[in-house]
Structure 1
Amino acid sequence: MPPHRLVLKKETRMLGAVQVMMGLINGALGRIWLLFYTRQFGEISTEYKPAALLSGYPSWMFLFFIISGVLTIETEKKRSPNLLKYAIRMNMNSFLLAALGLILIGFEVTLVLFKRGTVFWQEKTAVNLSVCLWMSSIMDLIIARKVVEWGNEAFYRHRYVLRP
């Protein structure tokens, strides 16, 4: 009996490519944020601590989303059930990491918005970078959820066909 082949939506490869691009965008935003923070460290008030940046969230999200995207692309190419399992697990991890990042960044921005007194331009710039990272994380969350949904549909509902 020939090995089974998964039936996946063609858009899965496109979502994998978008995941890789979003991972690169997260990495670039994290790098810009880190450079800004290190160069303006003295000017940023001691009350403002970028929780997402200091926790390493942009770096982890960068790695997780690039790996998730590559696994998703390879799953659509090879249509292997085992590769699909790994892609689903990695996308679930990316989903959870994006949700954690949204909470961290939301908490950080909320604290800055409710701060009394003057807000310096460095803090405004830092908040703008955090908001860009937050929007990118929302996109990451949506994409990872969709890939997991499509992967589960293909894997757990046993939509296998025989190789031609």
Structure 2
Amino acid sequence: MPRRITIKKEAKALGASQIMISLIHIALGTLWIFLYQLQNEQEQESNKKDVPMFLLIIYSFISSLYFIISGSSSIIQGVPTECKLTLAIVTNITSVFVAFVGLVILCVGFISFESSGNKYIWINMACMMLLQFTVLSTVSVIVVASLLIHWMRKAFHYEEFNEESSSSSSSPPSIHINIR
């Protein structure tokens, strides 16, 4: 009997949301570049905020690459196979790992910008706002990817259960209902 793997229809929408969040990360990375250039124009000497801003710029662009790949692999077209599900699970796990590394980088950014927060400079306020948006989008990627991982693992579980129950020849024929 052919293997039947069913996944929730909402997985495609969550994969598309991962792609949209990655585009938001690209836009935030572009804004980080502009703020970095403005800060360097206003302050001629190097300060302690240069390294966290550079890390935030790199994180925004590299994480968006991982989020696009995991979102694209989560949008499974056609019949879901073991290979497609395994690819979706692996890419979502790596995107969760990248997002957790990003949260550490964002915490470093919060500490560096908060230390100079006693002065009211619009660049500091803009950086804090961008940090908050980046944290929000990073946490949303963690939630979406974790949900997709759970659903994909569940699809493997139901597929194995259906295969075992259909391969037993001593039991009478039964109706298989795939839970979504």
1:11 match: 10
State the distance in 1 between where 2:162 and 2:35 align. 50
The answer to whether the 8 A contact 1:6-1:159 is kept is no
Q: Which moved more, 1:149-158 or 1:21-30?
A: 149-158
Are 1:8 and 1:151, in contact at CA under 8 Å, matched by a contact in 2?
yes
Unaligned 5+ segments in structure 1 are none
How many residue pairs were aligned?
160
CA–CA separation in structure 1 for the residues paired with 2:86 and 2:53: 29
Tell me by how many angstroms 1:49 deviates: 2.9
Tell me the TM-score normalised to structure 2 length. 0.78
Match of 1:87, as an amino acid?
A: A
Identity of aligned residues (%): 28
Task: Judge conservation of contact 1:7–1:160 (CA < 8 Å) in 2.
Answer: no
Q: Quote the residue 1:46 is aligned against.
A: 47
2:62 to 55, 60, 76: 60
- Tell me the CA shift for residue 15 of structure 1: 0.5
Unpaired stretches in structure 2, ≥5 consecutive residues: 167-180
Report Cα offsets for 1:17-48 as digits up to 9, x if no partner: 11111111111111121122123323257122
Say whether the 8 Å CA contact 1:98–1:141 is kept in structure 2.
yes
CA 1:82–1:160 in structure 2 vs 1: closer, same or farther (change >3 Å)? farther
Rounded Cα–Cα distance in structure 2 between residues aligned with 1:33 and 1:134? 14
* Equivalent residue, structure 2, for 1:85: 86
Counterpart CA distance in 2 for 1:160 and 1:101 is 39
Instruction: Tell me how far 1:50 sits from its aligned partner.
Output: 5.3
Scaled by the length of structure 1, the TM-score of the pair is: 0.85
Does the 8 A contact of 1:5 with 1:160 survive in 2?
A: yes
Give the structure 1 partner of residue 26 of structure 2. 27
State the Cα distance separating 1:154 from its structure 2 match. Answer: 1.1
Structure of larger gyration radius:
2
In 2, Cα distance between equivalents of 1:140 and 1:123: 26
Secondary structure, counterpart of 1:5 in structure 2: coil
State how far apart, in whole Å, the 2-side matches of 1:95 and 1:106 are. 17
Match of 2:142? 141
- How big is the shift at 1:160? 5.4
| Aligned equivalents of 1:16, 1:153: Cα separation in 2 | 17
Match of 2:155 in 1: 154
**Shift in Å at residue 114 of structure 1?**
3.3
